Amino acid sequence: MTISTSHLLKEAADIVVRKQLDFKLDSSLPKYWFENNPIKTRLMDAVCATFPEGEKYFIVSVRHFREQIKSRKLLNDVADFIQQEAQHGIVHTQFNDFLRQQGLPIDKLEKNLKTKLENSGKTFSPEMNLAITAACEHITAMFAKCFFEQQATMQGVQDPRILAMLAWHSIEEFEHKAVAFDVMKTVAHVPYAMRVGAMLFLTADMLSEIFINAHSFLKADGFGPVQRAKFIGQGLVWGFSPKGVLAPMAKPWLNYFKPSFHPNQEGTVDQYPLWLEVYAETDDPILAGQAFHRAGKTAPSRKPLLRGLFQRLA
């Protein structure tokens, strides 16, 4: 199967609503599914666990401005965005059930996050909530690219069901990555300072939330304080060292601060069309996810984080 490269990168993808995809998520999923590594798995679980409540917040933030949208295309995009995010919420609720079965404090996490996001809705203006949503959409699309661009990054995820769930979510984040941003810019007219302020606020809030939740998951797993501290240190190195897994996100994160930034200036991954092709042929998101992962780049192309930052600032 060949990968068509004619319509990838730096062009808007079509937003396709796909419903009731079956990833066969059940209690037979492996506990430490990311390289059989407790901290890598629990950090990824901590990201995933926020999705059901997070997706609801994104939908509410964008829907607030729907009546003011004049463009027929943007109205359609918003409708598709809402449906895609709703499907992500459904599937990640199933994944949260799997985490709950392991004894992780998912109920507490969801309750706290729901309260926090409701307070955000009451405390901040609709424009600020939309700016937070647009920032989060950019981070989600960057995250998707970061984890699937290089085949090696997800090589340790042996279970094809979890791999496929994350691949599908990534595909759809690529497709709708500009929707909240376009509503923010062309309908809500959010000023630059609020847009970048929301990104700074969100980045700090999200990172602290992920590490705090991963720590509580490790505690529920029965690891003692010393082992948990060691794991958190390993997680910080895994994510943020110069050759860390998140190093490729430095440049696109900084790009958000350009006044002329638009999400479609950022590419997706070369194998995006392959997922579409395999899914169209097989109607099987698990096969599509496996093909998508296998088609990732095999040659290293990352710049170390600090070198990338210095080059941006030079």
Which residues in this chain contact Fe ion in the complex, by CB under 5 A?
85, 88, 137, 173
Contact 85, 55 (CB under 8 A): yes
How many DSSP H helices and E strands does the chain contain? 13, 0
Q: What is the distance of C-alpha 241 from the center of its chain?
A: 20
CB closer to Fe ion, 235 vs 263 = 263
Q: Which CB, 45 or 173, lies closer to Fe ion?
A: 173
- How far apart are CB 107 and Fe ion at their closest, in Å? 22
Exposure on the CB side of residue 255, measured as CA atoms within 13 A:
16
Q: Please say which residue, 85 or 266, places its beta carbon nearer to Fe ion.
A: 85
**Nearest approach, Cβ of residue 180 and Fe ion (Å):** 8
Q: Which is nearer to Fe ion, 171 or 194 (CB)?
A: 171
To the nearest whole angstrom, how small is the minimum distance from the Cβ of residue 177 to Fe ion?
A: 7
| Nearest approach, Cβ of residue 176 and Fe ion (Å) | 6
Write the DSSP string, 138-205. HHHHHHHHHHHSBGGGGTTB--HHHHHHHHHHHHHHHHTTTHHHHHHHHTS---HHHHHHHHHHHHHH
Q: Looking at beta carbons, which residue is closest to Fe ion? A: 88
Nearer to Fe ion, 39 or 162 (CB): 162
Q: Considering the complex, what minimum distance in angstroms separates the CB of residue 137 from Fe ion? A: 5
Q: How far is CA 146 from CA 70, 239, 260, 265, in A?
A: 34, 11, 23, 16
